[in-house]
Chains A and B, each alone.
Chain A
Amino acid sequence: MCLEGENISFGYKRNNLILHNVNISLESGKLLGLIGDSGSGKSTLCKILAGYENNYQGKVSINGKEIPPKGYNPVQLVFQHPEKAVNPKWKMKDILNEGNNVSQYILDSFGIKQNWLNRWPNELSGGELQRFALARALGPKTKYLIADEITTMLDAITQAQIWNTVLDIVKEMSIGVLVVSHEKNLIKKLCHEIVYLDDINDV
């Protein structure tokens, strides 16, 4: 099983590409680190791989097959700002179970407490919300997780807790993870392989 992006080119303006002929492949159960400067197109590449952005050239496929635009996307993206990833008018339990019913095991491993479930999103902190966002994204049908700076805004201890949990779960479900971060030390510690965006980007 392999998520592949082939010859991906993208620009927000015409004649001003930020991604040109990017090739990237992510194997199931592997952790791939992606490093790049600010504004180099890391997040854009993540959005293309997860199907958020459709106006690109090239091909994104799983085992050579294109990802269907409707239905549950096996590639799930988690963002840097969890407070934007939740509907402020929904209770946490509805947010958590939007994709599928999250098992008690995942709740326990992320340390999500039962009394958080009846709260509104603005009553939880960023770290707590990010646990919800990850638990929601790691459903049984998820095959690849794209982690776009998911712990950048957290303190070191919470970062370590969250990454430990994510590592355990993805190992068990053999999910492929694309780890995007500025923090080289974090990526070196976590990932099997590291890719520099400047090396694979022709711009």
Chain B
Amino acid sequence: MTRREPSLFWRLALRVALVLCTGAALLITAAWYYARAAADDAYDRLLLGAAIQMAESLTVDAGHLVINLPSSAFELLGLAASDRIFYRVVDPAGRTLTGYDDLQTDIDLDTVRADPVFASTQFRGVPVRLTIVARALSDPTLSGFAHVIVAQTTEARRALASELTYRATILVAAMSLLALAGTMLAIRYSLQPIAHLGAAMRRRDPQDLTPVEVEAPRELQPFLASINHFMGRLNERVDLLQRFIADAAHQIRTPLTALSAQVDLLGQDQMDESGRRHLARVKKRADELARLTNQLLSHAMVIHRSESVQLAPVNLVDIARRAFRAAIPITIDPDIVVSFEAPNEAPMVLGDPVSLREAIVNVIDNSLRHGTISRLEVRVVSDKDNARVEVEDDGPGIPPKEWEKVTQRFVTSKAHEGSGGLGFAIASEVATAHGGNLGFREKGECGFTVYLEIPLASGEAEVRKQK
């Protein structure tokens, strides 16, 4: 059992997305900090401006500190439209001159001199930002430092900071999405060669054990090399196996011939009825074995020739006629009507005459053995593109659902008869090697037809390509 591994694409995309998310989170946090700082800076200036205006409006009149609060100071603070304003004016003795008595801070007012002081604190339960500015009084009747404390709620600051952060967030999010989309496209593009390689492997003919030649990036080369190495070894093994089968068949043929001769020599006369029956059966089996051995040899030959023999233009009618003669035995039942028809012109095909003849012989032989009752017709016909050798008989035919099966080795529609068939397999392989195919036609008004279809030589280029 193999666990289902997540795809490379999603692995990469997920990791890139994680990195982008982390980056975006960091950027947004940074933007938030900067936005707060910027908002505080901007509004602190307003606060300070207002405090300075108030401090400037302090005057000393007959030993008393008098304030003439300028409206403009409040208008300045009012630029933060929704914020509440608190202030306190403290005279040099530390008494509150006006404003909110309870506006206290931890800051010791005496320490505030030339430079204003800012602080963030709470006042009446709400967060405020406050500033303290000092005003030096040097009137003979009143001297020292008066202080103005101005505080403002932080709504406008927070609103500005939120606004800035929000915009930055939108930018960062847009950027991250763009980056993610770009990365996904890039990953998809980078992984394309894998899909190409896969498709090339799938498209290959199952019989084709030659090295795969596909453009692949450097990263895939080791993988491709392994595949090719494996294919090479497999090819060697298959070759070896085929050679072994051919050798074995060849080796079997000689003793088999001898065996048949010996069986013929057995005197039937001395035998009783059952002995004769047994002998007939032995003869039949020996014939079948001989045929099978021949077919095995023929199959091995066909495969060998399809790999090694250069195709040449041949006249299909000649080949078919020769095959017809070879396939019809002299001892044929005289009640069976056999015929051969051919067109006047010669349909030329690119092919190997030996293989083609072998294929046609096998089809006719098959028909004689399993199909023909009283009629066998062999025809050569051709149309615009293809030439066909058709073998028609008046037998029961093969049901369409088995058509595909019977072209495989050692499968026959009549398995119970014990004759494992290589005939159709040989014919089919020859047809495929010639860029054509072995086909069947349903038993109609005429009879059941098996045909071998080969492209005409005019389609020369096509044949080459298929090969």
Answer yes or no: are A and B bound together in one complex: no
The interface of chain B, by Cβ under 8 A from chain A, is none
The interface of chain A, by Cβ under 8 A from chain B, is none
